Copies of this chain bind each other. A is one copy, B any other.
Amino acid sequence: MMISPICFFIFSLVLSSSYAAVQDFCVADYTALQGPAGYSCKDPAKVTVDDFVYSGLRVPGNTSNIHKFGFVPAVVAQFPGLNGLGVSVARTDLGVGGVIPFHTHRGATEVLIVAEGSSVLAGFIDSNNKVYLKTLNKGDSMIFPRGLFHFAVNQGDTPVLMYASLSSENPGLDVLETSLFKNDLSTDLISKTTLLDKSQIRKLKRLLGGTN
């Protein structure tokens, strides 16, 4: 009988690892199984330098949105060489008046560097509800400790380009407004668990595409 294409594909995956005795890295194979530690490893014989190089940060993120906020991640989902290495990067663009909305990164720490622009008001909030706020200028860097809410606003008169370094290859991005208002979480439940008024909730669900 013929071997079905998919079987052959699996076959190549299976064989590959027998050539992988010594591995310095585990480049993500997006077509194979994932585990708690990340993606399966690409056949080392097929790994090239291009698995470790990413050009996606050349282009500004699209800032044509309500926040004038562009975000281009270079995390393991786009950048296979990061698999299992515990670090990732991203590019953030803010138009004049642009905003990085209130968010967290599931336990990852972020270090933000202002590469272009000025007067970026950035902040985070600790578990005692204390606010840490600073205006950053070109060349400044700021830490957002693991798991804490943070945000930024471009108060300058030029666009801002920032690079983020994250302490995980898969840091996630949990934005408050979309977590609350861009899904089917009921208005009643949101109101009870956040103290927000139902009218406010309905207004933002309409804006962001939430239901219920």
Contacts and interface: CB of A to CB of B under 8 A. Distances in A.
Interface of A: 1-4, 6-11, 13-15, 17-18, 20-26, 29-41, 48-50, 52-55, 57-59, 66, 74, 77, 79, 81-89, 91, 99-102, 104-109, 111, 113, 115, 121, 123-134, 136-149, 151, 153, 163, 165-167, 170, 172-174, 176-185, 189-190, 192-197, 200, 203-204, 207-208
As for how many copies of this chain the complex holds, the number is: 6
Nearest to A14: B31
Contact of A34 (B41, B107, B130, B172): B41
A123 B203 contact: no
B84 A36 contact: yes
A148 B107 CA distance: 9
